């Protein structure tokens, strides 16, 4: 189908065939209606600030169906907000509509449902899903280009938009005729894949149905399932663990001045597991220290762990205070099976009165440490996602008069 504009001579072509009632020339902004197969001038659009990003006659494939852009409409609300609508037609006469504003795209299709929008209902149920009112206003057409099978008028169009991101139900009433559209967020990547590799405008703000980067509810469910699986795994692993007591000994500080304690050799069998070391000393306004070296007798590799014991207390400003502890516990992680011995160096504050350091060493002590660490990490992540999602939704509703946050 091919038309030459009688005003400027610009040629506009599409491969689809439709019964043309109105034609708009993108070059000179003139609008014509057809009468006896002739173009009759109707009006001229003066608005030129918003130009189409895609072209009439351009083809693209969406969900394995090839569509051709046959018409472009530019609409305005509130005197300042504009958006573009592209009419897509397939060879089987299937129509879809691609809407773009501020870099956000929505793909829509007409559905047969009708709704009463005269009373500005705050919610709408479509296909058993509840949508929230986002916009209720009047729009006008400020630009119409390409081939139309209906008349184009500058009369106001009553609009109501209900959203459930990433979906939307858009309802238009014009000349007592209602048309309902169902749509979804259409990403910039999908637009470029379907139609063009050219640069498209950057997004501004949050789109009406733009989805958050993560589905918070689904992420929370996944994290809960993962936490339960980790807990079950930890319980199962701990049930099969047999603790190996390596050492339980009291060290007199006076016997190890300037020298180390070397334990007897011991053999560990089974999968890798942490070695837990517990120390205790009667520190009193003083400190003590234990340095532990685990020596692999086959490879001569050494793993070191070091822990201080500090306990201080006093009376100041009419109140008692204390800090530190007389006992501590720490791990050497991932100790594999093999033959080992321990080298322990006990130390204390020279002028302190405590005389003994107690050391207890256990391999494969049952622990839910991994579960608690994982649960804490997932909990913090969910908390961050919750506030990020809330901020995202608040920004989405900033331009709506029906924000649930007000």
* pLDDT one digit per residue (tens) for the chain, 406 residues: 889 888 888 899 898 888 889 999 988 889 998 887 788 888 888 766 677 889 999 999 999 999 999 999 999 888 778 899 999 999 998 999 999 998 999 999 999 999 988 888 999 999 999 999 999 999 998 889 999 988 887 788 999 999 999 999 999 988 788 999 999 999 999 999 998 777 788 888 999 999 998 888 899 999 999 999 988 887 776 666 678 899 999 999 999 988 999 999 999 887 778 899 999 999 999 999 999 999 999 999 999 999 999 999 999 888 999 999 999 999 998 888 899 999 999 999 988 889 999 999 998 766 677 788 889 999 999 999 999 999 999 999 998 989 998 7
Alpha-carbon distance of 14 to 147, in angstroms, equals 9
Look at residue 41 in the predicted model and tell me its pLDDT: 86
Look at residue 38 in the predicted model and tell me its pLDDT: 83
Look at residue 238 in the predicted model and tell me its pLDDT: 65
Q: What is the dihedral of CA 117, 121, 127, 132, to 10 degrees?
A: 120
Whole-number Cα distances in Å, 172 to 34, 71, 153, 305: 25, 18, 14, 72
Helix, strand and coil percent figures for the chain, each rounded to 5? 15, 50, 35
Look at residue 130 in the predicted model and tell me its pLDDT: 95
Look at residue 108 in the predicted model and tell me its pLDDT: 97
Look at residue 48 in the predicted model and tell me its pLDDT: 63
Alpha-carbon distance of 155 to 175, in angstroms, equals 9
* Distance from the Cα of residue 322 to its chain's centroid: 45
Q: Is residue 146 a contact partner of residue 77, using CB atoms and an 8 Å limit?
A: no
Q: Is residue 294 a contact partner of residue 332, using CB atoms and an 8 Å limit?
A: yes
Look at residue 230 in the predicted model and tell me its pLDDT: 87
Alpha-carbon distance of 148 to 382, in angstroms, equals 49
Pairing of strands 273-281, 327-335: antiparallel
Secondary structure of residue 372 in the 3-state scheme: helix
Phi, psi of 362 (to 5 degrees): -130, 140
């Amino acid at each position: 189908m091919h038309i030459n504009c009688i005003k400027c001579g610009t040629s506009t072509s599409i491969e689809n065939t439709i019964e043309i009632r109105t034609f708009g020339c993108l070059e000179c902004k003139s609008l014509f209606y057809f009468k006896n197969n002739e173009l009759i001038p109707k009006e001229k659009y003066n608005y030129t600030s918003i130009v189409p990003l895609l072209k009439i006659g351009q083809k693209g494939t969406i969900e394995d169906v090839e569509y051709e852009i046959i018409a472009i409409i530019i609409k305005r609300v509130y005197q300042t907000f504009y958006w573009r609508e592209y009419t897509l037609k397939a060879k089987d006469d299937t129509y879809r509509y691609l809407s773009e504003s501020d870099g956000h795209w929505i793909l829509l299709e007409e559905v047969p449902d009708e709704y009463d929008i005269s009373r500005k209902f705050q919610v709408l149920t479509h296909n058993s899903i509840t949508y929230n009112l986002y916009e209720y206003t009047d729009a006008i057409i400020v630009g119409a280009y390409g081939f139309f099978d209906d008349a184009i008028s500058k009369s106001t169009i009553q609009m109501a938009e209900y959203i459930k991101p990433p979906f939307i139900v858009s309802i238009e009433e014009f000349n007592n005729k209602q048309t309902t559209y169902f749509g979804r967020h259409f990403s910039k990547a999908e637009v470029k894949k379907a139609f063009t590799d050219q640069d498209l405008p950057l997004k501004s703000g949050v789109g009406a149905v733009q989805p958050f980067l993560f589905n918070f509810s689904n992420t929370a469910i996944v994290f809960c399932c993962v936490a339960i699986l980790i807990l079950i795994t930890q319980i199962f692993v701990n049930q099969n663990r047999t603790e190996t007591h390596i050492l339980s000994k009291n060290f007199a500080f006076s016997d190890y001045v300037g020298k180390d304690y070397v334990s007897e050799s011991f053999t560990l069998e089974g999968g890798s597991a942490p070695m837990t070391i517990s120390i205790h000393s009667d520190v009193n306004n003083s400190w003590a220290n234990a340095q532990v070296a685990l020596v692999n007798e086959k490879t001569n590799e050494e793993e070191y762990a070091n822990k201080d014991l500090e306990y201080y207390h006093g009376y100041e400003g009419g109140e008692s205070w204390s800090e530190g502890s007389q006992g501590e516990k720490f791990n050497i992680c991932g100790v594999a099976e093999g033959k080992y011995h321990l080298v322990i160096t006990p130390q204390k504050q020279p002028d302190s009165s405590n005389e003994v350091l107690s050391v207890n060493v256990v391999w494969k002590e049952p622990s839910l440490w991994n579960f608690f660490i994982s649960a804490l990490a997932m909990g913090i992540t969910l908390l961050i996602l919750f506030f990020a999602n809330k901020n995202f939704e608040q920004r989405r509703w900033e331009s709506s008069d029906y924000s649930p946050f007000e």
